């Protein structure tokens, strides 16, 4: 197997996280008050730090051999995606038409779908294949995480 084929897992993760990150940037760009922009910036920055760590760990795995140049390019692309999203959100916010809300809703759905894809189809199967004995613990952790996210979303609105 050539290195390009082996690094496809890291590339798919980069693609999914970049889409997710761009849409998170949109969430910052469409905010209307300085306070909400700072709050979203802090939340997205903390989230992006964790995503960058996961991407770095994925790129360092033996089954994903990446050259230093390619790894730096991956991280460079990933770091710019939020900025592009912020600019897109600002442009979307400038347009006061009703379709802007529809676009924001679709983008949020895409961000959630990208996150679910990475979690359920990339990360969890690999972790389950490594540790078979703690299945209930893994299920409880994932369920708690999604449940907490749902509660936070419910009470934040």
- pLDDT digit string (tens) for 58-76? 888 777 778 889 889 999 9
- Closest-CA residue to 136 (of 113, 94, 144): 144
Give the pLDDT of residue 148: 83
The per-residue pLDDT for range 1-15, each reduced to its tens digit, is: 444 555 577 788 888
Kindly list the domain boundaries of the chain, sorted by start residue.
Answer: 3-132
Q: Side-chain half-sphere of 123: how many Cα atoms within 13 Å?
A: 17
Provide the CA 53 distance to its chain's centre, in angstroms: 12
Candidates 27, 4, 35; CA nearest to 115 is 27
pLDDT digits (tens, 9 = 90+) for 80-119: 999 999 998 888 777 766 666 777 677 777 767 777 777 7
pTM above 0.75, yes or no: no
The region, left, alpha or beta by phi > 0 then psi within -120 to 50, assigned to residue 67 is beta
């Amino acid at each position: 197997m050539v290195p390009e084929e082996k690094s496809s897992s890291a590339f798919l993760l980069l693609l999914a996280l970049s889409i997710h990150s761009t849409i998170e940037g949109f969430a910052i760009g469409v905010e209307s008050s300085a306070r909400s922009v700072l709050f979203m910036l802090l939340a997205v920055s903390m989230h992006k730090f964790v995503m960058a760590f996961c991407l770095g760990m994925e790129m360092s795995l033996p089954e994903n051999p990446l050259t230093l140049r390619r790894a730096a390019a991956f991280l460079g692309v990933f770091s710019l995606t939020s900025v592009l999203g912020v600019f897109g959100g600002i442009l979307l916010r400038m347009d006061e038409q009703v379709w802007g809300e529809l676009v924001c809703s679709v983008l949020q759905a895409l961000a959630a779908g990208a996150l679910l894809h990475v979690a359920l189809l990339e990360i969890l199967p690999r972790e389950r294949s490594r540790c078979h004995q703690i299945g209930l613990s893994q299920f409880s952790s994932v369920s708690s995480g999604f449940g907490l996210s749902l509660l936070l979303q419910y009470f934040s609105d």
